[in-house]
């Protein structure tokens, strides 16, 4: 009797050891994503700007693997965002953090996207948006511009979207600006201005990495 197979797709979002199953021709299509970079903030004369983080890089390969082999899969963290309160008179720059690298055993790796820097979006598979501009990609990657008060303006870049991953780029017009899987976080966001002129601000975090494995499983 001929062997029978069924199509399988495994989506792995946390680091783990994975045992290679029996499959047709022991062939596996593996796609991995690095972590997304976080956004940036720059404050100058009370005006706030920032750029989005880049999406994680993507690596895809078809591998021939031996049944029973133990493979360590390391899923990257996204770049961590930042938050804090500053007076209007304080100038400064917070550079975004890069995402981590995802590994599929000894076979594949995918680097993380870079964090935003001042008004320039971080590099990645898709690049984060410059200050006030959309990130690259197609989902939830919008930047924005706003006049918060007579003296304070706000310009933020959207995070880049990770292609075909689960999630979206960080949007600069929402409270967190955090990204979905492997996407970049949004740049500078202002959540509150107090009566004393203090500004509560934060930047969006990048999304974590991802691993997708497709194969014909023997049944």
Per-residue pLDDT 10s for the chain (219 aa) are 788 999 999 999 999 999 999 999 999 999 999 999 999 988 777 678 889 999 999 999 999 999 999 999 999 999 998 766 544 434 566 788 999 999 999 999 999 999 998 889 999 999 999 999 999 987 878 998 887 677 677 888 999 998 888 778 999 888 789 999 999 999 888 766 666 566 677 889 999 999 999 999 988
**C-alpha distances in angstroms, 38 versus 22, 34, 48, 77, 185?**
39, 13, 16, 11, 5
User: Which value, to the nearest 10 degrees, does the dihedral of the CA atoms of residues 92, 119, 143, 101 take?
Assistant: -90
**C-alpha distances in angstroms, 106 versus 11, 71, 74, 95?**
19, 8, 11, 32
User: What pLDDT does 169 receive?
Assistant: 92
Alpha helix positions (H), the chain: none
């Amino acid at each position: 009797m001929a062997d029978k197979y069924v199509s399988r797709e495994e989506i792995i979002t946390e680091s783990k050891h994975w045992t290679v199953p029996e499959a047709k021709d022991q062939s596996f299509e593996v796609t991995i994503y690095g972590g997304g970079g976080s956004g940036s903030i720059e404050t100058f004369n009370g005006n706030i700007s920032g750029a989005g983080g880049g999406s994680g890089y993507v690596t895809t390969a078809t591998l021939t693997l031996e049944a029973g082999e133990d493979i360590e899969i390391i899923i990257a963290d996204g770049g961590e965002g930042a938050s804090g309160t500053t007076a209007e008179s304080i100038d400064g720059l917070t550079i975004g953090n890069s995402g981590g690298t995802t590994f599929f055993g000894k076979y594949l790796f995918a680097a993380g996207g870079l964090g935003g820097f001042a008004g320039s979006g971080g590099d990645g598979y898709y690049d984060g948006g410059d200050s006030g501009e959309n990130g690259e990609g197609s989902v939830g990657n919008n930047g924005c511009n706003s006049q918060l008060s007579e003296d304070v303006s706000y310009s933020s870049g959207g995070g880049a979207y990770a292609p075909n991953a689960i999630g979206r780029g960080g949007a600069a017009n929402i409270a967190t600006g955090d990204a979905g899987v492997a996407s970049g976080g949004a740049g500078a966001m202002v959540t509150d201005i107090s009566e004393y002129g203090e500004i509560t601000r934060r930047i969006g975090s990048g999304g974590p990495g991802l691993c997708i494995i497709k194969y014909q499983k023997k049944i």
